[in-house]
Structure 1
Amino acid sequence: MACEHCTQGYIVPGQPQGKMVNGAYFHPAPQGSTTKSRAIVVFTDIFGLPLKNCKLIADALSSRVGCDVWVPDLFEGKPPFTTDELVPILPDTGKPDDRMGLLRKLRLILLGLSRALRLYRARPAVVDARAIAFLKSIRKERMYETVGAVGYCFGGALAIRLGSGNILDSIVVCHPTHRSLSTIQAINIPTSWVCAESDTSFTKDLRDESERIFAARKNKPEYVDYEFKDYRGTVHGFAARPNIAISGLLEAYQGALEQAGAWFDKTL
């Protein structure tokens, strides 16, 4: 059983100020914004819309960039895991030296097996199609000229996959989960990378190779703008669910938000 302290440190303070629109969370551009032609979409981590952090991120980006921000329901109301189930097993987002021992790995495997059907329903073929349909619908209904996406963990991998499909204009990728070099090589739009110091998914070797892929395009027709920023003292997940009880984690979380906001100001 997870104790209160196992999960509460991962909930960002504050109350969402947006609203639900056709199953998605929506925060409109602040009053007085000079443009309605661009929008940002937040691709959540595996916890989906029930974890309010993604809504607070949307609120903050809407205020920072001055545009509409959407958070679609990638899992149609059934995220594969809850924070109470998964967070106590995962490495602490503020402790780079926190390693998953054998017992925690076994617990993760057993939990995954118990959620096999939900995980199957969240496979890329399903989620990608769902996200593309959502992006097409808001472009058509709201007549956005440019749309960017910021993805966290599970959503980071989704942003990478959609970074080559001519459906988005710019992406921010925050400590992504499962992805391959081939999908990274296929990205053809401006991309900003938010990188944790310790990440068993987006490892340092993979992070460095990804940067080499983008750097190798310099002075070539396929070049796209990019940046990689590393946040010391952090672990996979910090930009989506920081343990703010640990010194420096709130600042890293806020830094990742500012990085995303500045990137969209530059590229959308």
Structure 2
Amino acid sequence: MSFCSACVQGVRHKGEPEGKIETIGGITCYVGTPTVDYPKDKVVLFLPDVFGIELLNNKLLVDDFARNGFKVVAPDYLHGDAIPEDAMNPGKNFDLMAWFPGHTTEKTRPILDTVIAALKEHGVTTFGATGYCFGGRYVFDLAFENIIKVSVVAHPSLLKTPDDLEKYAATSKAPLLINSCTVDQQFPLESQAVADKILGDGKFAPGYVREYFEGCTHGFAVRGDLNDPATKAGKEGAFSKTVEFFLKHL
């Protein structure tokens, strides 16, 4: 498993966070709560990229989902050690592979499990999950165990092709949406085609959709340059398709 340079590239977005930092099961989380009535037994897990819940872009996305009627919980599964946002600055060469050993599944997944268990204790019975880059790995893992009812990933990292796609088809009952793009070393066009072959054309009964955003690169749905028309359209498109998918299946 590896990362690519695009995993730590991108642009900071502008806005004021509307959610709150809450402690759930002893874990720090960024939480977006709708201002309108919403089903208290459902939660969307927002599984961020390597910049974690500290990155404003991720907080704004959580807020946007909450604005569309979903209670959203973004756990700090990087245990307070997310990659700093200045790693995106031009000329920075953050050593992602030196950082990764401290954030493997063995060290991060238990944090996520703790949050899920605590939410269940508070009456949550149904989970959806949307994962970006690094977070895509966890969406697949949760779906393998059928902990989540609906799965969405955008430019996922750390997946094994075709192994993880075949395992998804064999074990998961969760409908899957993949938001993909043109230039993505982590989930390239070849892997996208494999996903379609394994899950597409009705072969995966719960439901499979792959959206493709022309001209976009890895990270576009979170850290894309909104001054670029194709990237802006891709980010907004991936968000709207995710909302539609949750409304249909969650």
| Range into which the TM-score falls when normalised by the shorter chain | 0.7 to 0.9
| Correspondence 1:81-160 to 2 at 5 A | 81-86=83-88, 88=90, 107=93, 111-112=95-96, 116=98, 118-141=99-122, 143-160=123-140
Q: What residue ranges of structure 2 are gaps of 5+ in the alignment?
A: 1-7
Q: Match for 2:44 among 37, 40, 43?
A: 40
CA positional deviation for 1:57 = 0.6
How many residue pairs end up in the alignment? 234
Report the 3-state secondary structure (helix = DSSP H, G, I; strand = E; otherwise coil) of the residue aligned with 2:164.
helix
Structure 1 residue 50 corresponds to structure 2 residue 70: no
Give CA deviations for 1:149-193 in whole Å, capped at 9, x if unaligned.
Answer: 100000012212221112111110100111112222222111100
Question: What TM-score results when the alignment is normalised by the length of structure 1?
Answer: 0.81
- Whole-Å Cα distance in 2 between the matches of residues 11 and 217 of structure 1? 38
Report the 3-state secondary structure (helix = DSSP H, G, I; strand = E; otherwise coil) of the residue aligned with 1:49.
helix
Indicate if the aligned counterparts of 2:48 and 2:131 stay in contact, CA closer than 8 A: yes
Report the 3-state secondary structure (helix = DSSP H, G, I; strand = E; otherwise coil) of the residue aligned with 2:221.
coil
CA positional deviation for 1:239 = 0.2
Equivalence for 2:4: none
- Whole-Å Cα distance in 1 between the matches of residues 182 and 56 of structure 2? 25
Indicate if the aligned counterparts of 1:9 and 1:244 stay in contact, CA closer than 8 A: no
Equivalence for 2:3: none
Larger radius of gyration: 1
Q: Match for 2:218 among 228, 236, 242?
A: 236
| Correspondence 1:75-86 to 2 at 5 A | 75-79=78-82, 81-86=83-88
Give CA deviations for 1:187-236 in whole Å, capped at 9, x if unaligned.
Answer: 21111000011101101111110121113763xxx622110000011000
Equivalence for 1:92: none
Equivalence for 1:259: 241
Q: Which moved more, 1:158-167 or 1:144-153?
A: 158-167
| Correspondence 1:61-72 to 2 at 5 A | 61-64=65-68, 66-72=69-75
Indicate if the aligned counterparts of 1:163 and 1:186 stay in contact, CA closer than 8 A: no
Equivalence for 1:24: 29
- Whole-Å Cα distance in 2 between the matches of residues 26 and 147 of structure 1? 14
Report the 3-state secondary structure (helix = DSSP H, G, I; strand = E; otherwise coil) of the residue aligned with 1:248.
helix
| Percent identity of paired positions between Structure 1 and Structure 2 | 24
Question: What TM-score results when the alignment is normalised by the length of structure 2?
Answer: 0.86
Structure 1 residue 211 corresponds to structure 2 residue 196: yes
Report the 3-state secondary structure (helix = DSSP H, G, I; strand = E; otherwise coil) of the residue aligned with 2:247.
helix
The alignment yields a C-alpha RMSD, in angstroms, of 2.2
- Whole-Å Cα distance in 2 between the matches of residues 248 and 13 of structure 1? 19
